[in-house]
């Protein structure tokens, strides 16, 4: 939770700059852009259980840090960060196998004034529910062992 709070504080400091720029230039704001708020809440909830699960796995398996370090650059190029899924043509369905694609879409589409597809909300909320239940169960089951793993 310390990591989540640290990143939220960092996000809050950066958001102040965005708000000042928006107030200065006063662009047209669409109602669709208000979907950023529920999108952010869903992403924060998902990242919270993911961080806890990775922390437990990292305390149990020492090499997990190197695995994460090797997988993250690959996930960056497979995630639609520098491209949109629609630019892939026939292969655009492959993007949705990457869970980070849903998180990016929840934030990027409302910023651009678009409504994210309904299946993005459904998959993200389902991941939030299942992931939270699984992680809390595993944390409760292994809470006593974590201090020995470290």
Tell whether 13 is covered by a domain. Answer: no
Q: What is the pLDDT of residues 52-83, one digit of tens each?
A: 999 999 888 888 889 999 998 988 888 888 88
The model carries a pTM of 0.85
Tell whether 97 is covered by a domain. Answer: yes
Q: What is the pLDDT of residues 102-129, one digit of tens each?
A: 999 999 999 888 999 999 999 999 999 9
144 or 129: which carries more pLDDT confidence? 129
Tell whether 8 is covered by a domain. Answer: no
Domain that holds residue 47: 31-149
- Number of domain units in the chain: 1
Distance between CA atoms of 76 and 11, rounded to whole angstroms? 20
pLDDT confidence of 148, banded at 50, 70, 90? confident
Tell whether 60 is covered by a domain. Answer: yes
Residue 27's closest CA among 115, 111, 106?
Answer: 111
Tell whether 22 is covered by a domain. Answer: no
């Amino acid at each position: 939770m310390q990591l989540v709070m640290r990143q939220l504080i960092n996000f809050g400091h950066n958001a102040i700059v965005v708000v000042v720029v928006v107030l200065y230039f006063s662009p047209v704001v669409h109602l669709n852009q208000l979907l950023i708020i529920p999108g952010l809440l869903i992403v924060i909830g998902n990242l919270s259980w993911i961080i806890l699960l990775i922390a437990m796995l990292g305390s149990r398996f020492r090499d997990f840090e190197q695995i994460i370090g090797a997988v993250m650059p690959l996930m960056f190029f497979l995630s639609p960060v520098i491209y949109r899924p629609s630019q892939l043509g026939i292969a655009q369905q492959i993007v949705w196998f990457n869970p980070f694609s849903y998180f990016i879409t929840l934030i990027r589409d409302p910023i651009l004034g678009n409504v994210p597809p309904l299946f993005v909300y459904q998959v993200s909320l389902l991941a939030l529910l299942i992931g939270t239940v699984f992680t809390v169960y595993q944390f409760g089951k292994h809470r006593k062992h974590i201090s020995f793993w470290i």
